Structure 1
Amino acid sequence: MAIGFWKRLLYSLLLDIAGLSSAIFLTINSIFLFRFTINAHLTKLVGMSTNKIMVNYYQLIAYLELPWVHRLKLDDFPFSEHGLVHMAEVKNLFMLNTIVMVFSICMVIILYRYIAKNKKWWELISGLQNSMILVPLVVIFISLDFDHWFVLFHQAFFNNNYWIFNPVTDPIINVLTDNFFTICFVFLFGLLELYLAISFWVVKKQVN
């Protein structure tokens, strides 16, 4: 009984890690989320056109997501030394997430093959159900005080306060608005919930 519980828990964690890391990767690379937050007020604030802002954002994402891009230089947004250090730390986290995503997806494929071969799809049901319930609860809980959790997140993953950007020395923060991060948060967990729902539907279909 105990072995079966821990085995199902391990399966659930593996599926959740694969889903979460994939959702993070897709959210980072969903450029349209950033484009959606650019308005007339923002373009006036930074004195740039929407197209020019987007070009700089593409350059930022290329640095953060491509392992062979080692130097951060945007056409129109300079960085302070602390700003560059923080962005390098963010890049490391993004690279780590990509590694976790690839590894966990490979493990999920192996798991699915094992489950299909032994016809044990039922072992995935409870874990997926629990995760589907937990995700909306987490979203609601964090949404009650998003700013507080945003700060805690940075304090947990960064051992300095370089993430607190000064708009004068690190003007990129003027376009990376609170609204943008909120939209990314909702989109990320929406993707995760969709992944869990589809996985549950597939598994349930196999059980029936």
Structure 2
Amino acid sequence: MWLTVHAVWLYRITLSTTDVLAQVGLSARTMMHNYWQLLAYLDWPWITQLHMSNFTDSAAALKHFADVKRLLLVNNVVLLVTLPVVAHGLWRLQREKRFWQLLLPMQWALPVAPVIAALMAINFDQFFVMFHQLLFRNDDWLFDPRFDPIINALPESFFLACFVLFFLIFEGWLVLGYIVARRSAK
């Protein structure tokens, strides 16, 4: 998830392929400055107040961003804690020539991302709502553009692209794991 959240290039593409800049009345450079401010708030525990130069948000929107920040910080801590453990485990499997043991788990995991992606593709709106209902216990994520103009800067197409990128990265790692495990089994 960290790679997806920090795919700034994806937001740049969104700005150049949608009418976001016209809707918010900002230049690409100014919008990117605001986006970097949002990412800094979400990333760094010591930044406790969301401040974007060209956007103000309602109390509900600020609460939602705080909830997102907590989830991302938990994700980052889990990533930092598990990455060395996984790396060590993979190193041991490689050293002991036991990558073949990953073959069955990879075979089971490979269809997961395509199935979820297919469900997402059928009805992204419903998928997006269910995603938010699963992760958030309130309706603060339902922004009103009159009070939370940042929602105009974060179109549905951007979130769709983020989910697609996440599933591609996830599936890519699974395919790589499967290939390595299969070669090891031979």
TM class, shorter-length: over 0.9
Cα deviation for residue 118 of structure 1 reads 4.2
Unpaired runs of 5+ in structure 2?
A: none
For 1:47-86, what aligned pairs fall within 5 Å after superposition?
47-86=25-64
Deviates more, 1:122-131 or 1:52-61: 122-131
Distance 1:118 1:45 in 2: 57
Does residue 146 (structure 1) correspond to residue 124 (structure 2)? The answer is yes
Q: Measure, in 2, the Cα distance between the counterparts of 1:137 and 1:65.
A: 30
| Of 101, 107, 118, the match for 1:129 | 107
| Counterpart in the other structure of 1:45 | 23
Superposed displacement of residue 41, structure 1: 2.7
Q: How many residues align?
A: 185
Aligned partners of 1:124, 1:84: CA distance in 2, in Å? 43
**TM-aligned CA deviation for residue 117 of structure 1:** 4.7
Distance 1:141 1:165 in 2: 24
Q: Give the counterpart letter for 1:55 in structure 2.
A: H
Q: Distance in 2 between matches of 1:156 and 1:62?
A: 25
Distance 2:14 2:95 in 1: 47
- Taking the aligned partners of 1:37 and 1:122, their CA distance within structure 2 comes to 41
RMSD of aligned C-alpha atoms? 1.6
Identity %: 34
Which residue is 2:10 aligned to? 33
Q: Residues 11-52 of structure 1: CA distance to partner in whole angstroms, max 9, x if unpaired?
A: xxxxxxxxxxxxx10000010111111147322211111111
> 1:57-206 maps to which residues of 2 (within 5 A)?
57-206=35-184
Stretches of structure 1 that go unaligned for 5 or more consecutive residues are: 1-23
| Distance apart, 1:54 and its partner CA | 0.7
Runs of 4 or more above 4 Å deviation: none
Q: Which amino acid aligns with 1:51?
A: R
Distance in 1, matches of 2:87 and 2:15, equals 39
Kindly provide the amino acid, as one letter, of the partner of residue 32 in structure 1.
Answer: W
> How far has the Cα of 1:130 moved from its partner?
2.0
Letter in 1 for 2:163: F
In 2, Cα distance between equivalents of 1:64 and 1:203: 36
TM-score (structure 1 length as normaliser): 0.83
Whether the aligned pair in 1 keeps the contact of 2:99 and 2:181 (CA below 8 Å) is yes
